[in-house]
Structure 1
């Protein structure tokens, strides 16, 4: 379905938003003259230094093109053997929305675990460790979690630290799909380092595209023993951009003067405004806690279909009538209030 003038604002994904003006300005600045390719430029060097400033002196940042690519490079770093496996939630993006990339490209088995609200617990990790040392079974090598989860929920720093401790005690590493890491930190009221380096994470992706960037993601390595392989894996995974300066400039802009936080906090606030506005609408209930810029709601199909004639959004579970509404850095209070008004009208018509 194409977005055109009939859709006043998309609530389908924060990927649908445009580019933040500060990021466009950073790209314009990087567009002055020539520069060496493949990351041998001053903008990429500046990004590497900014990563150390934000995440700690041992952190190594590598710009990539997209989130799935960031996950594949990050996971590849942690998988040393052909029989390794990844423990993840059954709702994890790597298991549900990356077209089997992990299995096809990495040849890895995903050991999925049913979860509540998309969050793994230490006991979930332990439940998949029974085959360690058994030559008849794939061997868990890494735990992968999403922060924010696919259900819009967030791991607290203590929850992440507990997962890291459990993983490390079993000889596993902890990988984080951080496509919306900024939204998690904004919700938790902490900096990015608190839920990565300080929590015991080994490698993670830092998402920019969902937070105001054009096409900019990063793999950040916190375990120094892993970083040397990134340049080779990034190239092999087709994630090494020729004009890297334009990606690096975006990521540096996000990490400068807390732009990442301002964008994510605003998106989260708009989701909270939307969720709060549902309270007086009959037949509409929240399906999951609102802890980021995602609102999951369950409502009658007739109401949903009426609303979808004007707004772009998707079913999450069509059988149950659950939909997902996403807000972004450029969602305004007026966008939310207009959406709620139309939802009230649709509910009044069909209920």
Structure 2
């Protein structure tokens, strides 16, 4: 099988990242974050996010989320998140295993809408876990993006209700590239308190990080990081990767390429008959609804994710990455066309592009 659209994690590390790791692999240096690479990464991140930002390198995105949310909550508190948030659907109950109660909010097209947080809280009710954190996923698990206005409204609403705000930014780069804004405009400027900053899905080798924007929301995080097994000994190798991605905006170029290939794939598939695109393609994920026989034939030639199987239809997810070849995108479209026996394309008004398309729940 030569075509792999399962995940942006399936992509190799960017050569610049590998070169940075090799360069860091010289001589001896202090460990556990005291190395020059980690100090430089924090300095650079302060230039990006603001002068009070601090950087916590970790092993992976799940670890970043669990560490952040654990530090942001007390034992009787809970986390409000989208019903299809990554922390709920794709982290194998890691938050629950860490003692975190997740409270789910409706999320049309993957996004929690502003104005609806209060009904999920039960302030003062000793029989209910007290919500203390709002966690948002950017870009969302359905490949859509929160725009700046909605983020600002959600953060203001959360803070007014006494909640801190965590942003799961495993694909923050893709969202920023789509919206044409900086990381700071999607985080610091709108009131986010803690960011799980992803790099492994955007050209990194391994390791991600936390960026703490309000240290008051994560008391004792330096101790908790060790306690939950997320303190790398050789932090220089995690931080060197981040520095490579920050150099000359490599993070943006990688994300922009991935997004562009997703748009190309969505446009090609959307022009075929009997092909549904139930949510808009806003980052680097394409969700496509196909008849079961067509989907089954496609999966013989393309590695992808079957998101939902319902009766005679299949909802498939295809992810693009920094290294996705446009020719491979076109091959996927051709394979679907061949499976359909396609003859005439859809009209333009039949291709879904509305940001208010219905949500696509995952079982």
TM range (shorter): over 0.9
Residue deviations 1:111-166, cap 9 Å, x none?
1012201111233312212x111112111100001000000000001100101101
Of the candidates 153, 160, 178, which is equivalent to residue 169 of structure 2?
178
The aligned counterpart of 1:60 is 54
Q: Does 2:149 align with 1:155?
A: no
Task: Give the secondary structure class of the aligned counterpart of 1:69.
Answer: helix
* Deviating more after overlay: 226-235 vs 32-41: 226-235
Q: Give distance in 2, aligned partners of 1:163 and 1:60.
A: 23
The aligned counterpart of 1:111 is 103
Q: Normalised by the size of structure 1, how large is the TM-score?
A: 0.95
Q: Give distance in 2, aligned partners of 1:120 and 1:179.
A: 17
Of the candidates 95, 98, 121, which is equivalent to residue 88 of structure 2?
95
Of the candidates 72, 77, 95, which is equivalent to residue 84 of structure 1?
77
Write the mapping of 1:132-281 to structure 2, written as runs, cut at 5 A. Answer: 132-226=123-217, 229-281=220-272
Conserved? CA contact 1:83–1:108, under 8 Å: no
Residue deviations 1:233-255, cap 9 Å, x none?
11111111111111000011112
Q: Give distance in 1, aligned partners of 2:140 and 2:325.
A: 24
Q: Does 2:318 align with 1:325?
A: yes
How far is 1:73 from its partner? 1.0
Root-mean-square deviation (Å): 1.5
Q: Give distance in 2, aligned partners of 1:276 and 1:256.
A: 32
Q: Give distance in 1, aligned partners of 2:271 and 2:32.
A: 54
Of the candidates 30, 55, 62, which is equivalent to residue 36 of structure 1?
30
Q: Give distance in 2, aligned partners of 1:177 and 1:38.
A: 24
Conserved? CA contact 1:216–1:251, under 8 Å: no
The aligned counterpart of 1:4 is none
How far is 1:326 from its partner? 0.3
Residue deviations 1:305-327, cap 9 Å, x none?
11111110011111141110000
Q: Does 2:45 align with 1:51?
A: yes
Structure 1 gaps of 5+ residues are 1-6
How far is 1:289 from its partner? 0.4
The aligned counterpart of 1:16 is 10
Residue deviations 1:185-224, cap 9 Å, x none?
0000001100000010000111001000011211111003
Residue deviations 1:250-279, cap 9 Å, x none?
011112211110000000000000001013
Q: Give distance in 2, aligned partners of 1:224 and 1:234.
A: 14
Q: Give distance in 2, aligned partners of 1:128 and 1:279.
A: 37
Residue deviations 1:45-91, cap 9 Å, x none?
11111110111101111111100000011112210x21101111110
Q: Give distance in 2, aligned partners of 1:285 and 1:232.
A: 48
Task: Give the secondary structure class of the aligned counterpart of 2:341.
Answer: helix
Structure 2 gaps of 5+ residues are 345-363
Q: Give distance in 1, aligned partners of 2:234 and 2:30.
A: 8
Q: Normalised by the size of structure 2, how large is the TM-score?
A: 0.91
Q: How many residues are matched?
A: 342
Q: Give distance in 2, aligned partners of 1:255 and 1:133.
A: 44
Q: Give distance in 1, aligned partners of 2:274 and 2:295.
A: 11
Conserved? CA contact 2:72–2:218, under 8 Å: no
